[in-house]
Structure 1
Amino acid sequence: MRPLLLSTRTWFRWLSPTILFVGVFALLSVAAYGQSGVIKGLVLETNGGLALSGAQVTIDSLRRGAITDVNGAFTLGNIPPGTHRLKVSYLTYETNEQLITLGAKEIREVEILMTPIDLRGEEVIITAQALGQTQAINEQLNSDAIANIVSADRIQELPDVNAAEAIARLPGVAINRSGGEGQKVVIRGLEPKFAQITINGVSLPANDAGDRSVDLSLIAPELLDGIEVFKAPLPDMDAEAVGGTVNLKLRKAPQRFKLLAKGLWGYNDLHSDWRDHKGVFQMSSRLFDNKLGVVAQAGLERFNRGGDILQRTWRAERSNDTTDLTELLGNTLRLEDRQEIRRRYNTSLGLDYALGRSEFSLFGLYSRTTRDRFFMEERYSRSDQEIQYTGEDIFGTLDLFSLSLMANHDLGPLKIDWTLSNSRSNGQTPAAVSVNFRDNTSPFTGGNPDDDPITYLDFADPDPEQAVFRSVDVRTSSTLEVTRTATLNFELPYKWGDKIFGSLRFGGKYKAISRERKLDQRGENFYYLGSNEADRALARYALYRDSVPEANAPTTLPQNSLIPNIRSFLREGELDFEGLDGEAIPFSANLDPEQVNHWYRSQDAILNTDRNALVNNYEVDETVTAAYMMLKFRVGEWLTVIPGFRYEYSNNEYRAGLSTVSGRYGVNGFYFDTTTVQQYGEFLPHLHLKVKPTDWFDIRASYTQTLARPDFDWITPRIRVDENGLVVSGGNPNLRHMVSTNYDLVLTAYKGGYGLISATLFSKEIENIFYPFDIVMASDSLAEEFNYPQYRGYELNSYRNSPRARVYGFELDLQTTLSFLPKPLNGLVFNVNYARLLSETQFYFFTQKQVLVIPFPPVFDIIYDNQSRDVSMLSQTPHILRSSLGYDFKGFSARISAIYQSSKISAYSNDPSLDRFDREFWRFDASLKQQFGDNWSVFLNLNNLNNQQDISYTRNQSFLGTIQTYGLTGTLGLQYRIQ
């Protein structure tokens, strides 16, 4: 659809009279409905009084209804005086009806107790896991949007490691891991940057250095009172959600005092580390006659996220005449030992205050993650007769802060809600210090360089004494993003006769994003020459050691005392590396991070500033002004139609630089700042339909349009021109946003006491999807097309839009409690879901061929051919299967879960036979919990029971690439809880 290029001023000329009209109407409504009353209440479970979220509360005669929140609370406003029949419905529970007499202007509070459905003529006890599943089903069935839910009880009873792990249990969702723990979500095969992440509806700032993705490992599950994944968002939600919207719901104080104290101790099997730990304290209460609610929480944790990485690389030779495939021969072998300790500190505070028919809420969240990493790498190159040793010490922090003020006003028939929020994400790496050593003295005793690179170890004869100190590099970086939002929403109910009713909802939103990326790099790479640089460095290090005696004395090559070697950087003890089948591979050089940092500190003042890093800096200012309208139209209980639209206008400014720097540390060339601006608007129609022909089956369909804005790295005008290599690389300031037209169809069958089964079909038709590409501007027309007319003949590494792409597939989901079985089998809870994901897009590349132009004397020319081929999207897993089996018996709860992900494409090559893939895998986790009395419990969590490894390969599994091993981890904990 062509964008509607309306200015913000023009849009508000239209919107302002509408808001004024609604304001006047609201005042008239307050006067007209001055005698109406309010019914507030709690819906609780009979056995134990647990809150039931997602229950449907209605007064059928008035066509008024509400859905209970995570605390089981509901509010029905604008109720005329008199006697009304209040009906409460909840899947797997008996329907409860009560007569409520309400006086003029009265605020009536009620408590509704729900009884589980009796399927076998005996007392029914709803167990912990069954209640969590039931809550999720009820919230999903009562949602106006197509959504999947993780309920509060399901999160709390047997919690996952973090929010990403909890979301990944839903159909069509995969996760990207970092250090073995879930970090980002991939919804329906679309990369994490295409998912909108919110907390209580407030957008979180992106915290990736280059794209728009959000690290969900920052969010502890104990903070949450539920997770909603909207796969077909409504018009009142942000449009930037091609993959979907993930809303993390923070806790709100319930009517009763609650307290949670949890401590756990953990073990990392790969590193035999028993020092992992986590502590959580949470308190919630209501004060001043229940008008003020307070929820406070604090937590800290320390986990070992280290791993072992083995990587083979292969070099492509000429095509085989028999198979017509490009021959792959051994190239290098890389062993990397990752040592990483992650610490997190979380705190949150939630306040809510009821003032008449208004409610105000203030939520604050702060989370800090520190990552203390030391990477050691050994790289074996048989053809180059070289072994490289690299050590890198990195300390980084990632801070997330979010503060939001919200209000809801019940003005008779008119409901108004608004939000003001300020969120900040700040990722910093004060210093990433890297040292490199190389042994070029024929460190191999034999072997064939064309063989599988793993065989290089059989013929390697490393001698650290001959490993020359090559270079030191220091990188400092920071990425700061601030997001500010303001929203205003109005909702007006209506009723036509006894059967037709609904509401009109409309409003607007303003969102401003400011981002700054800074990168500084310094270094020295002439030590191996034994020149003045090496002399000066050794002299400075000697002075440094006078005040820091723990720094080792420098060592040099046996045959040349002017050239430093690796010996003084090593520490005592052997270091084993875990290979594909668990075999131990010893490292040749065990580098000491303390000695690496001693060298850096001694040289800090004289390192060369690398001007090549300047091109990676940028600043971004984006604003989005939005307005929407949606009409909810209901005919009885069997039909709901929600037509609507959303309009978003973007005004964006990007500042970066053009660089032609070259030479050692960029001593030649120039750099100057550039600024680009993009302005555009998008009109996005929506249509949602729900048909409920029976009380146990419904059909949902939706037509929506969503959009995605390009990665920050891709759209900022960061241009680097390499005039020696004839290469232009960088962002594309003309990159367009992409628009997705989405179709969803969901069939759901459900029955109290049995559970839910659903089937979903979906398709996304995407315009202007963006992706990286590599091309040679071989003609004037091509150079003009990409706005580089002066660089004809250069290779261009940048980003572009593809006219069309398609993502489609289906999802199946089964959730059942098996409570209809006889004891003790009635405590079983079973969940299984499967997703089949497909996609179609194009990959653009160029090929080059040398041709003979003149036979004698021979003159050759290179012919470039720009081509494309049809492919599936990167990161999309074609098959995802998840299942879990839980069991509850009295105070005991257990759950074992499994996930299968099929092979997926990870990188495309000009030659299809050289494409790279991630291998399929199974992963198993288990959780156990035993309750003691009303308050105490002990729990055990085991993650990655089968030591699943992340493995990649080229072409087929005969050519393995990277093998990442993180091993089994476990935690044992004690919990005290008052609820």
Structure 2
Amino acid sequence: MKKFTMLMAATSVAALSSAMAGDITGKVTDADGTVPLRGAEVTVEETGQKVVTGRDGSFRVTGLEAGTYNLSVTYLGAPDTAASVSLASADATSSVDIAMGGEGDVLVVTGQRGSLNSALNQQRNADGVVTVLSADAIAQLPDENVAEAARRGLGVSIANDQGEGRFITIRGINSQLNATSVNGVRLTSPESGDRRVALDVVDADVLKNIVINKTLSADMDGDAIGGAINIETISGLDRADSLLKLKAGVIYTGKSEEWGEKVSGTYANNYMDGRFGVALSGSYQNRQIENDNKEVDGDWNVEDGLLPFPEEELEFRNYDVDRERISLAANFDYMASENTKLYLHTLYNQFGDQEYRHRVEVKVEDAIDNGDISFSAPNAENQLVSFFGDDLEIDRDVKDRYEEQQIWSAVTGFEHSMDLWTFDGSLSFTHAEEAEDNLETNFDQDIEETLTINVASLSEPRLAMVGPNYLDASGYELDAIELTDGLTEDEELAIAFNVKRDVTFNDNPGFFKFGVKSRMRDKNYDLDFSAFDYEGDDDVTLDMFEASFDYPIDTFGPHADAGLLKDFFNANRNDPSQLELDEAGSLEEAGVSSFDAEEDVLAGYAMVQVDIDNLRLTGGVRVEKTDVEATGNVFDEDTETLTPITIEDKYTDILPSIAMRWEVREDIILRASYYASIIRPNFGQFVPAGSRNDDNELEAGNPDLERTEADNFDFLVEVYPTDSSIFQAGLFYKDLENLISPVSSDVPGTYNGLDYVEIETFANFEDAHIFGAEIGYQQALDMLPGMLDGLIVSANYTFASSEATLPDGDTIEVPGQSEHIANFILGYDKGPLDLRAAYSFKGENIDDVDVDGISAGRYVDDQEFLDLSGKFKITDQIRIYADIKNVLDTELKVSNRYEGVPGRFLSQYEEYGRTYQMGVQFKF
């Protein structure tokens, strides 16, 4: 730290003592001058200064004396281009426009080759380890949302929900350890207890780029361990001419056998002689989703000498979802002068789910306790466990839920350059919310008959025999109705200001940069919950509302129509002789779930960069001071009282970072970096809220949680065999302290004045380690003869080994960490045809940890997906397309594992089916 301080001081002196010098500005475009080229490297041959063009193709070189300078411009996919520029005086500014790919040279800027070139140039000239997916690459595949689009990158995978990608995973690391931004604005989360952002909200059609930073520098927010994801939307200054894209298509979901629709449009142009850019994007999608699900709630009994069997209940679920997604983006950029830019970037996303969930709960726990269980294994295909007696309960319930999520952000700011100085500032606001309206109706029956489960397949047990009562809708009586009306709001106001000063260190160009940022966040969840018990004199039974549907994965039996149930509730909700309010249960659920939290982060940083020939060094330190206050409620079932509790916490983190980029040769680059970072606890983990039942068992958050801290190391070699190919191989290591995980303990204690004998809460693991390697290859195979020169291939693989130390000293794999991640894409882009096949694989990972040692944990099993996409160009402006998603009909499988017991025991199984899309695209 002492050496770093001395370096900063020396840099400041150099900055203040530098004389005024001239500037060279310009823009790099394709040969026609219509498409700005981002990521091109511009080198001043006389001084060695190197700059990289921005998203609008612009560049600026400062600190030059009067004279003539030769510029060399390199861009993968195009031959090097030279330009000569003269400065009349030391305080002059000269501008030059440089077109890449002259007569006889073909520079591809659209389609698969264009997207490959764009991404490679941005990655090649980045200071750290970066994965870039450009808009054209995103548009080539049938990706519904941002999460699905991102999974094509090196070491990137996703976690699914309802058959769609939801959370981005980087290098197999738990998605909770990532950060997400749009146009540089950190997004807040609409999920009540979460920080991570479910990116199924944002439609893929409104994107410009997805940039995944796997390493951090001091000028970036320090709360990311897996990586920082930045979603970019289009700007009117990104092009030199107008752009209009329209897309209209239909979606057919094979599982539901229903049609949906999707439309999108993008307009971008600039006015006032190219000084004012306007970009508007919008998309609308509606699709019908149906999923079949089977779960085991609780553990399996795996005692020696017995057939294994569920200890509590077997569940069957059917989901029928009407999903609507709206995304809008509006960006305005204004060049007030040659040196001053003003901007306003906005994004709005709305995600609505009308979900009907039908569930059967086969409850066997009481029958087991009474010994009403028998075993039979006549052959390998039939391993039968039978339950009987008076205590076999079957519950059937229907959830009628409408959930709407909104995420919107707005950022306004400026960028101004003056001599050797560059200033920028921004004011941003982001808002996320989730409104949930849920009506859940429950029917139950104690059936006096034998029910048999076939456990020959531990991962897919099935009902082998049921009696007539199980299938008789008239035997199920209305028991209870629950009404949920919840609203989560999460918003953040951020103010940032940065100063950059170009300097030279012994004739080596570089810069000094510092800045400050204030983030003020407020998150709250307000739940209105009412639980009603049916108290009517006349029996209300399931057959009065009966409906039917297909459930191919087991014997579901009768279920109820959600619309008829809602009518019944609305007609009787205010009549206590029919529906009696459970005041204590309602108070408990509403009080324990509701909370309010405020979190303020004040950050400052200083960093320095220097180019020594082909070696670039970037170092800095960031300081973040966190001040958090949260209020929750603890409920005691003994006294039926709700007690509010407020906690406060303050802490400061010092986060150094250093990165090396060494261009060994023009086609070989070595990168090495270190950075320190943190992840603050999720709101649902640290808010002081909980509930103690009559048995003195407590479920609660842990306000004493520490933030997770990490030291991150990366090494990567990049080889560029041709102008349209890259080979990458690297290593990474992460040393984590205070990793957070749910835990349970049967050691008695006291929580905010409540004594307990058992607690379920969250705790910090002492330490954890992740070590991994990744390898990737991309190339346009234009060296092949004939029609084969249209082939494009991309493949990558990531391996990660992890270990976490539990509070009792045992070690496990890091929760959420996959050991293997792989992606493979084969494309063809020639003439009117544009085809792609994309395969992705995500290895298993621990989902939940059982620290009591009863099981080895709950695992999400391996998943592999194959998607196909095809486009045919009818004219230069019109294309038709057809896509198939989830060709392999991949299911979600989650299993329990037990120490010393072979096999994967069902925890959750879900089928999604295939999705088909077709439509037409217009581009003008």
TM-score under structure 1 length normalisation:
0.85
User: Matches of 1:387 and 1:776 in 2, distance apart?
Assistant: 30
Partner of 1:294: 278
- Answering whether residue 566 of structure 2 is matched by residue 597 of structure 1, we say yes
1:220-278 deviation digits (Å, cap 9, x = unpaired): 2222211111111111000000111001112111221111111111100001112x111
Partner of 2:97: 111
Match for residue 627 of structure 2 among 634, 639, 651: 651
- Answering whether residue 530 of structure 2 is matched by residue 522 of structure 1, we say yes
Shift of 1:745: 0.8
Match for residue 747 of structure 2 among 759, 777, 780: 777
Shift of 1:456: 2.4
- Answering whether residue 398 of structure 2 is matched by residue 388 of structure 1, we say no
Partner of 1:862: none
Shift of 1:77: 5.1
Partner of 2:128: 145
SS of match in other structure, 1:139? helix
Say whether the 8 Å CA contact 1:815–1:832 is kept in structure 2: yes
Match for residue 629 of structure 1 among 591, 606, 612: 606
Say whether the 8 Å CA contact 1:42–1:73 is kept in structure 2: yes
Say whether the 8 Å CA contact 2:474–2:542 is kept in structure 1: yes
SS of match in other structure, 2:250? strand
User: Matches of 1:487 and 1:446 in 2, distance apart?
Assistant: 64
Shift of 1:904: 2.4
User: Matches of 2:516 and 2:219 in 1, distance apart?
Assistant: 8
- Are the structure 2 counterparts of residues 354 and 710 from structure 1 closer, same or farther at C-alpha, using a change threshold of 3 Å? same
- Are the structure 2 counterparts of residues 285 and 900 from structure 1 closer, same or farther at C-alpha, using a change threshold of 3 Å? same
User: Matches of 2:869 and 2:456 in 1, distance apart?
Assistant: 47
Partner of 2:594: 617
Counterpart code for 1:97: A
Shift of 1:806: 1.0
Partner of 1:510: 518
- Are the structure 2 counterparts of residues 880 and 754 from structure 1 closer, same or farther at C-alpha, using a change threshold of 3 Å? same
- Are the structure 2 counterparts of residues 908 and 598 from structure 1 closer, same or farther at C-alpha, using a change threshold of 3 Å? same
Number of positions where the alignment pairs a residue of Structure 1 with one of Structure 2:
873
- Answering whether residue 504 of structure 2 is matched by residue 492 of structure 1, we say no
Shift of 1:843: 3.4
Shift of 1:214: 0.3
SS of match in other structure, 2:765? strand
1:515-558 deviation digits (Å, cap 9, x = unpaired): 11111211222x3xxxxx214xxxxxxxxxxxxxxxxxxxxxxx
Say whether the 8 Å CA contact 2:878–2:920 is kept in structure 1: yes
- Answering whether residue 917 of structure 2 is matched by residue 971 of structure 1, we say yes
- Answering whether residue 860 of structure 2 is matched by residue 918 of structure 1, we say yes
User: Matches of 2:509 and 2:722 in 1, distance apart?
Assistant: 27
Partner of 2:370: none
Partner of 1:99: 84
Q: Which sections of structure 1, spanning at least 5 residues, go unmatched?
A: 2-13, 528-532, 536-561, 580-584, 663-667, 845-866
Say whether the 8 Å CA contact 1:753–1:817 is kept in structure 2: no
Match for residue 433 of structure 2 among 426, 436, 456: 426
Partner of 2:159: 176
User: Matches of 2:312 and 2:434 in 1, distance apart?
Assistant: 36
- Are the structure 2 counterparts of residues 645 and 326 from structure 1 closer, same or farther at C-alpha, using a change threshold of 3 Å? farther
Shift of 1:319: 3.6
User: Matches of 1:491 and 1:742 in 2, distance apart?
Assistant: 26
- Answering whether residue 685 of structure 2 is matched by residue 708 of structure 1, we say no
- Are the structure 2 counterparts of residues 385 and 259 from structure 1 closer, same or farther at C-alpha, using a change threshold of 3 Å? same
User: Matches of 1:348 and 1:107 in 2, distance apart?
Assistant: 35
SS of match in other structure, 1:534? coil
Shift of 1:578: 3.3
Counterpart code for 2:782: S
Shift of 1:932: 2.3
Say whether the 8 Å CA contact 2:110–2:136 is kept in structure 1: no
Shift of 1:408: 0.6
- Are the structure 2 counterparts of residues 479 and 315 from structure 1 closer, same or farther at C-alpha, using a change threshold of 3 Å? closer
Say whether the 8 Å CA contact 2:483–2:530 is kept in structure 1: yes
User: Matches of 1:599 and 1:92 in 2, distance apart?
Assistant: 66
1:44-93 deviation digits (Å, cap 9, x = unpaired): 156x9544321112223244433223343334456555432121101232
Shift of 1:747: 1.3
Identity of aligned residues (%): 22
Partner of 2:825: 884
Partner of 1:40: 26
Say whether the 8 Å CA contact 2:128–2:659 is kept in structure 1: yes
Shift of 1:37: 4.5
Partner of 2:763: 800
1:396-452 deviation digits (Å, cap 9, x = unpaired): 1111110101211101100011111011001111x2001111122325476789997
Match for residue 934 of structure 1 among 865, 871, 876: 876
Match for residue 262 of structure 2 among 266, 269, 278: 278
Deviates more, 1:351-360 or 1:384-393: 384-393
- Answering whether residue 798 of structure 2 is matched by residue 814 of structure 1, we say no
User: Matches of 1:286 and 1:447 in 2, distance apart?
Assistant: 67
Shift of 1:381: 4.0
Say whether the 8 Å CA contact 2:394–2:447 is kept in structure 1: no
- Answering whether residue 353 of structure 2 is matched by residue 371 of structure 1, we say yes
User: Matches of 1:511 and 1:519 in 2, distance apart?
Assistant: 26
Partner of 2:697: 727
Say whether the 8 Å CA contact 1:950–1:964 is kept in structure 2: yes
- Are the structure 2 counterparts of residues 839 and 902 from structure 1 closer, same or farther at C-alpha, using a change threshold of 3 Å? same
Partner of 1:224: 207
Partner of 2:792: 829
User: Matches of 2:345 and 2:623 in 1, distance apart?
Assistant: 28
1:574-614 deviation digits (Å, cap 9, x = unpaired): 411132xxxxx564224211112112212333544411111
SS of match in other structure, 1:145? coil
User: Matches of 2:669 and 2:730 in 1, distance apart?
Assistant: 12
User: Matches of 2:294 and 2:764 in 1, distance apart?
Assistant: 35
User: Matches of 1:445 and 1:691 in 2, distance apart?
Assistant: 68
- Answering whether residue 901 of structure 2 is matched by residue 962 of structure 1, we say no
User: Matches of 1:575 and 1:974 in 2, distance apart?
Assistant: 34
Counterpart code for 1:495: T
Matches within 5 A, 1:157-172: 157-158=140-141, 160-172=143-155
Deviates more, 1:873-882 or 1:240-249: 873-882
Shift of 1:968: 0.3
Say whether the 8 Å CA contact 2:301–2:311 is kept in structure 1: no
Counterpart code for 1:347: L
Partner of 1:260: 245
Deviates more, 1:623-632 or 1:56-65: 56-65
- Are the structure 2 counterparts of residues 933 and 596 from structure 1 closer, same or farther at C-alpha, using a change threshold of 3 Å? same
Shift of 1:751: 2.5
Say whether the 8 Å CA contact 2:473–2:546 is kept in structure 1: no
TM-score under structure 2 length normalisation:
0.89
User: Matches of 2:501 and 2:167 in 1, distance apart?
Assistant: 38
Say whether the 8 Å CA contact 2:461–2:906 is kept in structure 1: no
User: Matches of 2:454 and 2:662 in 1, distance apart?
Assistant: 68
SS of match in other structure, 1:577? coil
1:816-861 deviation digits (Å, cap 9, x = unpaired): 11112122111111111101112111335xxxxxxxxxxxxxxxxx
Shift of 1:100: 2.3
Shift of 1:905: 2.3
Deviates more, 1:916-925 or 1:626-635: 916-925
User: Matches of 2:517 and 2:13 in 1, distance apart?
Assistant: 17
Say whether the 8 Å CA contact 1:116–1:126 is kept in structure 2: no
User: Matches of 1:140 and 1:124 in 2, distance apart?
Assistant: 18
Partner of 1:437: 443
Counterpart code for 1:810: A
Shift of 1:669: 2.5
Partner of 2:804: 841
Shift of 1:465: 1.0
Partner of 2:175: 192
Shift of 1:708: 0.6
Counterpart code for 1:258: L
Say whether the 8 Å CA contact 2:109–2:118 is kept in structure 1: no
Match for residue 402 of structure 1 among 406, 409, 431: 409
- Are the structure 2 counterparts of residues 903 and 770 from structure 1 closer, same or farther at C-alpha, using a change threshold of 3 Å? closer
